[in-house]
Amino acid sequence: MQQYQEHKFSIAPMMEWTDRHCRAFHRQLTRHALLYTEMVTTGAVIHGDRQHLLGFSDIEHPVACQLGGSDPKDMAEAARIVADFGYDEVNINVGCPSDRVQSGRFGACLMEEPTLVAACVEAMKAAVDIPVTVKCRIGVDEQDPEAALDAMADAVFAAGADALWVHARKAWLKGLSPKENRDIPPLDYERVLRLKQRLPDRFIGLNGGLQTLDQAEPFLETLDGLMFGRAAYHTPQIMGEVDRRLYGASGPDVSPWDAVKAHMAYLEEQLGKGVKLAHMTRHMLGLFHGRPGARSWRRILTVEAIKPGAGLEVVEKALAAVSPAGAELAAAE
């Protein structure tokens, strides 16, 4: 647990969102939060284009890779590949409810097979030295969340898991879409708190429906970590407060303007490698949410970043439109 204790805050793995460019941007807002990849399947890791799937920048540390799979041998092999790439953690997806994931026998359907998940944890722990963690739901379909979550937690911790992140909702594999599964099943934070009270010496982190640090921070009186998802993606300025509030960092919070200024070097480097500006700036659209000029910021990035040859001048123009402070920053670049 000592190796994992520092991760009081993390950004959830989100398909089609938390790619390497998203993570590099988020890192400009917080130096300490644990960042996650999108879920990648064991088959893709073992047989696919590993550099495309797993490549990342050194600035992203600490960064974790989430794997989807259920064969212990394949999970161990994929974990070795992930560790060799330099990731700080490997995580098992036991929470995604999509049909494609179910057909592959991984994701939330594994809530019904805690002994299989434990076998994966055991095989992965034997294969790598980095932490092996699990992200799960509180249950699926007609399962009793009391019994289901206890069974999963006991199994994976007995197998050596370093942490359990719990999305505090059931997943309904029959009748709800993945999108509906993120909103319709009711949140049950108390169930996660009871798990922690039963397992006080284990790292238990909370995910699901967390919107602000004011709402979420009190959970750290009992739990070990907070995992933000869509709220952090759509309003990333939340992350600018994390280092001070949760990690005791000195100095002021990271402002949206500071984050953009710090991110310019990364954008320039990636543009030089042929990455399209829009592939990177799409993750930045919500940065100034609720501030004067936010609509102009989004419009300029959305419309002009997709044009052929779009470069840093688009970001500077968008920044200048946000506010007088943003205009001063853009002029200083």
- Annotated binding-site residue? 209: yes
Q: How far apart are the first and last CA of the chain?
A: 43
- Annotated binding-site residue? 100: no
Exposure string for 81-106, b = 16+ CB within 10 A, e = fewer:
bbbebebbbbbbbbbbbbeebbebeb
Q: Which amino acid is at 167?
A: H
- Annotated binding-site residue? 91: no
What's the Rg (C-alpha) of the chain?
20
CB 216 within 8 A of CB 228: yes
Instruction: Burial-class residue 108 by CB neighbours within 10 Å (0-12, 13-18, 19+).
Output: buried
- The active-site residue out of 22, 65, 96, 109 is 96
Q: Dihedral sign, CA of 26, 210, 87, 22?
A: negative
Neighbouring CB atoms inside 10 A of 272's CB total 8
Angle value at C-alpha 309, between 308 and 311, nearest 5 degrees: 130
- Annotated binding-site residue? 14: yes
CA dist 120 and 110 (Å) reads 11
- Annotated binding-site residue? 272: no
Q: Is 120 a catalytic residue?
A: no
Strands 34-41 and 225-228 turn out to be unpaired
- Annotated binding-site residue? 207: yes
- Annotated binding-site residue? 208: yes
Which of 304, 311, 305, 316 is closest to 268 using CA atoms?
311
- Annotated binding-site residue? 264: no
Strands 204-207 and 163-167 turn out to be parallel
CA dist 328 and 324 (Å) reads 6
- Annotated binding-site residue? 66: yes
Going by the annotation, the residues of the binding site are 13-15, 66, 135, 167, 207-209, 229-230
**Catalytic site residues?**
96
Mark the binding-site residues for FMN, compressed into ranges.
Answer: 13-15, 66, 135, 167, 207-209, 229-230
